[in-house]
Amino acid sequence: MASLVPSALQEVRGIVRADAPLRLLTHVRLGGAAEWLVEPIDELDVAAAVRACLDAEVPLRVLGGGSNLLVGDAGVPGVVLKLDRLRSIARDGVRLTVGAGVTVPSLLRTAREQGLAGLEVLTGVPAQLGGAVAMNAGTREGETFDRLVSLTVIEPSGEIRVLGRGDLEPRYRDGGLGARICVHATFELEEDDPKAIFGRFEEYLRYRNDTQPVTERSVGCVFQNPTGDSAGRLIERSGCKGWRRGGVSVSHKHANYFVHDGDGTTADFVALVHAVRERVREESGVELELEVKRWEVPELD
């Protein structure tokens, strides 16, 4: 397969690298390498890469900020697209159109500086914009789709298409894109005093820092919250805080976060997931469902 990929991607402008370590590109710093890592220059090159992989029957995945991703220790076959170069932010009245490679913190800073409110509910989300849209990232204050009015996406066929908000059916932690790739998103915001926006930003950030291990290596929340309950509360009540498997442990600050101290493997993470799930099931009868996105981690599928 590897010999097919470079020739299939000849029309794609950007960087193509073989055997690229993904652990360096994910927040948790776990996992093996991508067979091929491709960094397209713009949306036309993203579309060209999609068509090339489709024609060559090569597996294709998209990597955003890697904040909610667990990669298997053996790595990933085929092509991984990294959209870091799609970093444009354009204003039209109270609307901002944002490239998929823009980080959420950078977007919030730009919106605040321009006196546009509404996105500060995403304070503390470490994702890139494309990933935040794909998973409808959010906090207790709101979600990515709350202010979203349209998306530019690459269809699985390689066609570039603009979708309105009514064309999509986002759910909890799922933007409903399926195999589509977000390359730009447009948000409708409202004008406000930058100082007032910053005040809300500081309040939300203080809460995140007080309740979540934001400075440690993690995938964010590991499990979905069961209806009417909290996964973190169930894990803590079951006595799992501080549990460790190899280099991965249950955070003492928030039990639904598993943190990596630098010497672990994805196998350690998987072992901890199974141990915590089993204890919660024994103690409460609840079967916790995973929230973290996985690539080539069959033990969790």
List, in order, residues 6 or more apart from 10 with CB less than 8 Å away. Answer: none
Q: Which of 32, 42, 37, 44 is nearest to 61 (CA)?
A: 37
What does the pLDDT read at residue 1?
A: 45
What does the pLDDT read at residue 2?
A: 53
Domains of the chain: 4-82 (3.30.43.10), 89-211 (3.30.465.10), 231-300 (3.90.78.10)
Mean pLDDT of 205-220: 90
8 A C-beta contact, residue 220 and residue 68: yes
8 A C-beta contact, residue 73 and residue 32: yes
Q: Which of 8, 28, 6 is nearest to 17 (CA)?
A: 6
8 A C-beta contact, residue 81 and residue 63: yes
* pLDDT band at residue 123 using 50, 70 and 90 as cut-offs: very high
What does the pLDDT read at residue 7?
A: 77
* Token digits of residue 201: 């930003």
* pLDDT band at residue 4 using 50, 70 and 90 as cut-offs: low
* pLDDT band at residue 130 using 50, 70 and 90 as cut-offs: very high
* pLDDT band at residue 140 using 50, 70 and 90 as cut-offs: confident
Helix axes 104-113, 194-211, angle to 10 degrees: 150
Q: Work out the angle at residue 192's Cα, subtended by the Cα atoms of residues 201 and 167, and round it to the nearest 5 degrees.
A: 85
Model pLDDT for residues 54-112, shown as the tens digit of each residue: 999 999 999 999 999 999 999 999 999 999 999 999 999 999 999 999 999 999 999 99
Model pLDDT for residues 187-211, shown as the tens digit of each residue: 999 999 999 999 999 999 999 888 8
What does the pLDDT read at residue 126?
A: 87
Mean pLDDT of 23-28: 95
8 A C-beta contact, residue 154 and residue 50: yes
| Residue located via tokens 């055997």 | 19
Model pLDDT for residues 147-197, shown as the tens digit of each residue: 999 999 999 999 999 999 999 999 988 999 999 999 999 999 999 999 999
* pLDDT band at residue 122 using 50, 70 and 90 as cut-offs: very high
